[in-house]
A = this chain, B = another copy of it.
Amino acid sequence: MRSPGHSRPPVAGATGSLVFTTVLTGGPLSRADVAVRTGLSAAAVTKAMKPLADAGYLVEVEETAEDQGARRVGRPATPVRVHAERCYFAGVKVTGDELIGVVTDLQATVCAVRHRPLRSGAVEDVVTELAALVSELLGESDSYRASFGGLGVSVGGDVDPESGMVRYSPFLGWRQVPFVALVAAATGLPVRLENDVRALTVAEQWFGSGVGAGSFAVVTVGTGIGCGLFVNERVVSGAHGVAGEIGHLPVDKDGPLCHCGNRGCVEAIAGNSAILAQISETTGAEVADLASAIELARNDPAARRVFAVAGHAIGMALAAVANFLGPERIVISGEGLAAYDLFSEQIRTTFAEHAFGAAGDCDLIIRPLSFDDWARGAAAVAIQRFIAPHTS
């Protein structure tokens, strides 16, 4: 499979990346603003922007007559923004039974989505399907291939972005799989691999609620309960590939048995399947999926009680995160949040009770999440790689 020449990142060095990301994450900004935000001199900003503008990554915003209201004296600023369509990226999240793929532009706006069921979890099959999916996605518009920046792939489990290895993925049953090499060979594209939750954290860092925060955490509520951490200017990876593992935080030592062997883990109480099991058990009703469980809870107090208990468990987890890291914000997201109105109050109450001192000051931000957002996270990893290769 031959592929056209991919766009080379035009980023000169650290300063170029810094300026680029500042504009990317900070919306349209004048050069003077960028200078202030980055701490660079105005001259340095001008010089750093030159090649980026020449290559078409940055463009000056057309002045729309009466710009920002309070215009002061002096030469008016010329805001610069990212030319989002200059370059496209693909992101694929690999789950145990499905591939989710997206194409995004430079600002991580999703341009195309495709899902593809996985019949087999064998490495070769996954690679083949993945290559086919990406090929389909990039086939949707000529622009995608013509100016392609990179492919990001995210997998749950212990993953090493540097070596491109999936060290261990429980869902797929993989160990020591050189996934990047395989996917790169099959697609001919530049590939970057990352853990799924960390990929989501990267997306949040640059394109979501993490923008401007010195530290934040992303807590995902779904089948499992996960957590991505951003501290000291970087996403936390963990020395052994594990980090942000809050799903097995013990909440109730007499609680339900968790698959990890202990009792009363957050995940065993507030994970989607745990909720379903509890509701079935408590009410005797047959609930097949979360949607019907939510439906039921709207009328059945016993079912509602299950959600409250789950909310309590989540609140405990959030408080633990806040106490531990003291992040500026915690973003709570995940498919499980469809039932947010059922959780909400209990989450906040428990959080407030257990957050210690000033740790309780951290913002709790709710952000429902679609499955596609996981793939978008993978694309965000590719974008980050493209713009700031040294960072990750």
Binding site for B on A (CB under 8 A): 158, 168, 213-215, 227, 229, 231-234, 236-253, 260-262, 316, 320-328, 353-354, 356-359, 361-362
Question: What distance in Å separates the Cβ of A203 from its nearest Cβ neighbour in chain B?
Answer: 19
- Whole-angstrom CA separation of A324 from B326 in the bound complex: 13
> Which single member of B242, B243, B353 contacts A262 (CB below 8 Å)?
B353
CB-CB under 8 A from A251, the residues of chain B are 250, 253
- Whole-angstrom CA separation of A250 from B323 in the bound complex: 12
Question: What distance in Å separates the Cβ of A293 from its nearest Cβ neighbour in chain B?
Answer: 25
A261 and B326: CB pair below 8 A? no
The 7 A-B pairs with the shortest beta carbon distances in the complex, nearest first, are: A238-B326, A240-B358, A239-B328, A245-B323, A232-B232, A243-B326, A242-B359
CB-based nearest B residue for A251: B250
A239 and B362: CB pair below 8 A? yes
- Whole-angstrom CA separation of A185 from B362 in the bound complex: 35
Given contacts A232-B233, A242-B322, 11 further A-B contacts (CB under 8 A): A213-B239, A229-B325, A231-B232, A232-B234, A239-B327, A240-B362, A243-B324, A248-B323, A249-B320, A251-B253, A321-B324
A238 and B354: CB pair below 8 A? no
Q: Which of A249, A262, A328 has the most CB of B within 10 A?
A: A249
- Whole-angstrom CA separation of A323 from B250 in the bound complex: 12
Q: How many copies does the complex hold?
A: 2
CB-CB under 8 A from A262, the residues of chain B are 353-354
CB-CB under 8 A from A261, the residues of chain B are 353
- Whole-angstrom CA separation of A368 from B361 in the bound complex: 34
CB-based nearest B residue for A261: B353
B353 and A237: CB pair below 8 A? no
A326 and B239: CB pair below 8 A? yes
Given A253-B253, A320-B249, do A241 and B358 touch, yes or no (CB 8 Å)?
A: yes
Given A232-B234, A249-B323, A320-B249, do A242 and B358 touch, yes or no (CB 8 Å)?
A: yes
Can you spell out 6 A-B residue pairs with CB atoms less than 8 angstroms apart? A158-B357, A229-B324, A243-B324, A249-B320, A251-B253, A262-B353
- Whole-angstrom CA separation of A376 from B231 in the bound complex: 27
A214 and B232: CB pair below 8 A? no
CB-based nearest B residue for A235: B232
CB-CB under 8 A from A362, the residues of chain B are 239-240
A242 and B353: CB pair below 8 A? no
Question: What distance in Å separates the Cβ of A267 from its nearest Cβ neighbour in chain B?
Answer: 10
B253 and A325: CB pair below 8 A? no
CB-CB under 8 A from A316, the residues of chain B are 250
Given A232-B236, A250-B251, A316-B250, do A324 and B358 touch, yes or no (CB 8 Å)?
A: no
A356 and B242: CB pair below 8 A? yes
- Whole-angstrom CA separation of A229 from B238 in the bound complex: 12
CB-based nearest B residue for A325: B243
Given A158-B358, A261-B353, A353-B261, do A325 and B238 touch, yes or no (CB 8 Å)?
A: yes
Q: Which of A227, A357, A361, A362 has the most CB of B within 10 A?
A: A357
> Which single member of B168, B239, B253 contacts A214 (CB below 8 Å)?
B239
> Which single member of B238, B246, B250, B359 contacts A240 (CB below 8 Å)?
B359
A231 and B236: CB pair below 8 A? yes
B323 and A324: CB pair below 8 A? no
- Whole-angstrom CA separation of A316 from B231 in the bound complex: 23
- Whole-angstrom CA separation of A324 from B262 in the bound complex: 17
- Whole-angstrom CA separation of A215 from B262 in the bound complex: 27
Question: What distance in Å separates the Cβ of A256 from its nearest Cβ neighbour in chain B?
Answer: 14
CB-CB under 8 A from A243, the residues of chain B are 324-326
